[in-house]
A = this chain, B = another copy of it.
Amino acid sequence: MINYNPKEWFTFIFRVHKSDTVRQLMPMIVSLSIYVALVAFLEIEVFNLGDNSHLKNITILHGMLGFVISLLLVFRTNTAYERWWEGRKLWGSLTNTSRNLAMKINAVLPKDDVVNRTFFREHIVEYAFALKRHLRGHQRDSEVFQSNVIIDHELHKPNHIAALMYTRLNDLYNQKIISGTQLLFLNEEFRAFTDICGACERIKNTPIPFSYSVFIKKFIFFYVMSLPFGYVFSLGYIAVPIVVFVFYVLASLEIIAEEIENPFGVDDNDLPLTMMSKNIQKHVAEIL
């Protein structure tokens, strides 16, 4: 994620940032310009179509469908934003849950039980890092700031870490270090961990329905490709920048939606999972 000051309009408008959609769309913008110029050349110079040509009125189509495509794309972006925001909320919950679990463990364990305190401190932190790698498909990475927890790469790591902690808790219960009520109260935090992990996986693994995604892309394509036929009559060669700008707007909305609908990747707009995991590490270290 990029931190920025939303009030600096000047830099926003004139700098072309790396994750700017202008940059991503550049190849298509160039191809489209050539295509529109070609259509203009053919209609004006080669076929020399006059104002009586029916082709001129094809713009009726674009006026009529302009609403639908606008609505569709703005709704699409909004839905994607809600997923992004839900992802952010989930990681916010993870931070709070990690902290609460650390505080509870701190309260129920004897002050001098260094072994178990270290165990939980390491595993609570490792859960966040493991979830981050799990969501990004980087299961095999290792990180300098991570704990000594080593897990088989084939397993579902976050679940496995949760299970390790749960087993340890059960042992503490069997050794009468913690009571049954305390076991059940702590259980709630583990349920929260699992629920957060499940919800993140849901967002990651469930893109919007296939037909819907195909339909939007086909619609943008045919809409933009048919634009120059009518526009050339009233705009001449000025149709080139105009069609390109319309395409830039429509395609940007779709591209932004694609980027933010899965907020757990490493795109510029994705959530700063590494930073959040480090925050959890810091908070937990202060408590346990």
Interface residues of A (CB under 8 A from B): 1-4, 6-7, 9, 12-13, 17, 19-22, 54-55, 57-68, 70-75, 77-79, 81, 84-85, 88-89, 92-93, 95-96, 99-100, 103-104, 107, 156, 159, 163, 166, 170, 179-181, 183-185, 187, 190-191, 194-195, 198-199, 201-202, 205-215, 217-219, 221-222, 231, 234-238, 242, 245-246, 249-250, 252-253, 255-256, 258-261, 268-269, 283, 286-287
Contact = CB atoms under 8 A, between A and B. Distances in A.
A221 B191 contact: no
Nearest to A252: B215
A210 B4 contact: yes
23 contacts: A1-B206, A1-B210, A4-B213, A7-B258, A12-B214, A20-B214, A57-B234, A60-B234, A68-B70, A68-B73, A72-B74, A75-B78, A77-B212, A81-B209, A88-B206, A93-B198, A107-B170, A107-B183, A210-B268, A212-B256, A212-B269, A215-B252, A215-B256
